[in-house]
Amino acid sequence: MYHYRQVLVRMRQGDSDRDIARSKTMGRNKIAQVRAIADERGWLAKDSVLPDDHVLASIFVRKEALPSTCVSTLEPWRDLVTRWHAAGIQCTTIHAALKRNHGYTGSYSSVYRFVCQLVNAREPEVPLRLAFQPADAMQVDFGAGPLITDVYTGEVIKSWFFVATLAWSRHQYAEFVRDQTVATWLGCHRRAFEWFGGVVARVIIDNAKCAITKACIYDPQVQRAYAECAEGYGFKIDACPPEDPAKKGIVESGVKYIKRSFVPLRQFRDLADANRQLHQWIMTEAGNRIHGTTREMPLKRFADVEKALLRSMPAVPPEVASWAKVKVHRDAHVQYEYNYYSVPFRLAGNTLWLKATATMVTLYREHEAVAAHVRLSGRGQRKTVQDHLPPAAQAWQLRDTQWCLEEAQRIGPACYALVHAMFGDTVLVHLRSVQGVLRLKHKYGTARLEAACSRANHYGTPSYKVVKAILEKGLDQHTMLSAFDALAATYTEGGRFCRDTQTILQ
């Protein structure tokens, strides 16, 4: 309407149609039509008042075309084509399927025009731009980092970087890490709050396994350790709906910014050097740039307004701990991070909660602590408390070689000599045999066991089987003859090869 009004003004000033057309406002034919309508309505008189825009629009604006009464040849298959198009099937495939399976004889152009009508008839998806107040929210995420070669050890580290961005000021904290475990996730949160000097009201996260155990639009399940961290610091967890990362687009942009602006063309000596360079870059280049959305410097925006509105840090930071459900093995041990920790043997087969801190591992049955261990480093190590084992296993482990020698010495010198001789075997260990010999005192008494061991030593047969046979037959109560006395008795009592039954038994 502005152009029409300008044309009418120039006509009232006496300009010709040719002069007005030179301004390229509209063509000469259109100008002639406007002049005819203006003459008819008396708008060219200098003392007349120019009409309002809505009057000009009612006369000059082209009326909307009436809906076409033409019915598409694809109308019988409207629902079918609509479903196919919604599933992402392209027009050429739809046309071929209609010809092959439904006897359609129309052209591909008809299918294309019909699909375009379906697209135009849909309501546009208009995203809602989220607005945040100062100190209201922080968005966090992980991004894939570069391979870092440690120049001191030669180790090649596959890195990730954690990014936490304040939603209002766009000031951020970032850190290179080795993994995305629960302990790393919680530690990064602690260092981020220390970096900002306060805590926000809520933390917007994705559905990473270290934070959300079960993703859901309406009722996500939060990792137990992360829930304790949120309770300790006083923030609320705001998990995005599954497969909808746009809800945390601020930190998504922050991740891309680090990947494109910081990581390329940089050399790192180790992980610590990478973090030093990253923090310096945030406080200089990244923090002092003019942000594309806020049109202000994030660091200045944070220092001037948001920093003072953050919630204060707790006097005692919450303990960084990881929780996991573990099953007790048959040997009364549980496995956590490739190491093994004992629990009372009566809990074998049960499922327990394991809480792991930097220094301790504690196991719970419901809310009752049943075992606590110093956390092991490395892999394949085992931590066993003797009281957690069954009585038989405890007795077997306590009755080692040293215990057997001490127990035999308490019984007597003959028993000690027999045990010492059995342990001196160069082929077999004989630990169970010795334990069996010492257990015989419970049945036959210390005196008889000492006499039996003395008899076995006398005849040079120190073994469990011999001692047991001597006690069962009562031979420990008979007097032993020396070898010389037995030989002399043989000659004096009737001949060299003639011996009585008593001598043979002895």
* Sequence-ordered list of residues with C-beta below 8 angstroms from that of 231, at least 6 positions apart, any chain: 318
Exposure string for 247-273, b = 16+ CB within 10 A, e = fewer: bbebbbbbbebbeeebbeeeebebbeb
Give the pLDDT confidence score for residue 484 in this predicted structure. Answer: 47
Asked if 334 and 354 touch (Cβ cutoff 8 Å), the reply is: yes
Which of the residue ranges 38-42, 160-164, 274-278 would you say has the lowest mean pLDDT?
38-42
Asked if 437 and 418 touch (Cβ cutoff 8 Å), the reply is: yes
CA dist., res. 276 & res. 268, Å (int): 10
The pLDDT of residue 268 is above 70: yes
Give the pLDDT confidence score for residue 481 in this predicted structure. Answer: 57
Tens of pLDDT along 382-412? 999 988 888 877 666 667 788 889 889 999 9
Q: Rounded to a whole number, what is the distance in angstroms from the first to the last CA of the chain?
A: 137
The pLDDT of residue 324 is above 80: yes
CA dist., res. 263 & res. 257, Å (int): 9
Quick one: CA dihedral 255, 259, 262, 266, positive or negative?
positive
Give the pLDDT confidence score for residue 67 in this predicted structure. Answer: 54
Q: Which amino acid is at 222?
A: V
Mean pLDDT for 126-132 is 83
Q: What is the DSSP string of 317-366?
A: PPP--EEEEEE--TTSEEEETTEEEE--GGGTT-EEEEEE-SSEEEEEET
The pLDDT of residue 500 is above 70: no
98: three-class secondary structure by DSSP: helix
Give the pLDDT confidence score for residue 502 in this predicted structure. Answer: 61
CA dist., res. 104 & res. 106, Å (int): 6
The pLDDT of residue 205 is above 90: yes
Q: Between β-strands 382-383 and 339-342, what pairing exists: parallel, antiparallel or unpaired?
A: parallel
Residue with tokens 């120190």: 462
Give the pLDDT confidence score for residue 147 in this predicted structure. Answer: 95
The pLDDT of residue 297 is above 70: yes
Q: Which fold has domain 137-309?
A: Nucleotidyltransferase; domain 5 (3.30.420)
**Where are the strands (E) in 167-274, listed by range?**
172-177, 202-205, 212-214, 221-222, 236-239
Tens of pLDDT along 136-151? 999 999 999 999 999 9
Least Cα distance to 501 among 493, 477, 467 occurs for 493
**Within 13 A of 464's CA, how many CA atoms are on the CB side?**
13
Mean pLDDT for 244-266 is 92
269: three-class secondary structure by DSSP: coil
The pLDDT of residue 69 is above 80: no
CA dist., res. 293 & res. 244, Å (int): 21
Give the pLDDT confidence score for residue 391 in this predicted structure. Answer: 80
Greatest Cα-to-Cα distance within the chain, rounded to the nearest angstrom = 173
165: three-class secondary structure by DSSP: strand
Percent of the chain with pLDDT over 70: 92
Phi and psi angles of residue 212, each rounded to the nearest 5 degrees, phi first: -120, 120
> What integer best gives the mean pLDDT of the chain?
88
Which of the residue ranges 350-354, 367-371, 411-415, 426-430 would you say has the lowest mean pLDDT?
426-430
The pLDDT of residue 429 is above 80: yes
Give the pLDDT confidence score for residue 66 in this predicted structure. Answer: 47
Bridge partners of residue 334, in order along the sequence:
341
Tens of pLDDT along 463-498? 999 999 999 999 888 776 554 454 454 444 555 555
* Sequence-ordered list of residues with C-beta below 8 angstroms from that of 1, at least 6 positions apart, any chain: 53, 56, 57, 60
Q: What is the DSSP string of 64-121?
A: PPPPP-PPPTTGGGHHHHHHHHHTT--HHHHHHHHHHHH---S-HHHHHHHHHHHHHH
Quick one: CA dihedral 348, 349, 351, 357, positive or negative?
positive
Element (H, E) at 471: helix 464-473
Cβ-based neighbour number of residue 184 at 10 Å: 19
pLDDT band at 96, cuts 50/70/90? very high
Tens of pLDDT along 4-42? 888 988 898 888 999 989 988 889 999 999 999 988 888
Give the pLDDT confidence score for residue 392 in this predicted structure. Answer: 73
* Sequence-ordered list of residues with C-beta below 8 angstroms from that of 448, at least 6 positions apart, any chain: 471, 476, 477
Give the pLDDT confidence score for residue 126 in this predicted structure. Answer: 79
Structure tokens of 8? 């009418």
Element (H, E) at 487: helix 483-492
Tens of pLDDT along 35-62? 999 888 888 888 888 888 888 888 887 6
Q: Between β-strands 202-205 and 212-214, what pairing exists: parallel, antiparallel or unpaired?
A: unpaired
The pLDDT of residue 65 is above 50: no
Structure tokens of 332? 């009364």
Mean pLDDT for 181-206 is 94
Give the pLDDT confidence score for residue 282 in this predicted structure. Answer: 96
CA dist., res. 471 & res. 477, Å (int): 9
The pLDDT of residue 307 is above 60: yes
Radius of gyration over every alpha carbon of the chain, rounded to an integer in angstroms: 46
| Per-residue DSSP letter, 201 | S
| Per-residue DSSP letter, 251 | H
Least Cα distance to 423 among 403, 451, 397, 443 occurs for 403
* 3-state helix, strand and coil shares in percent for the chain, rounded to the nearest 5: 45, 15, 35
373: three-class secondary structure by DSSP: strand
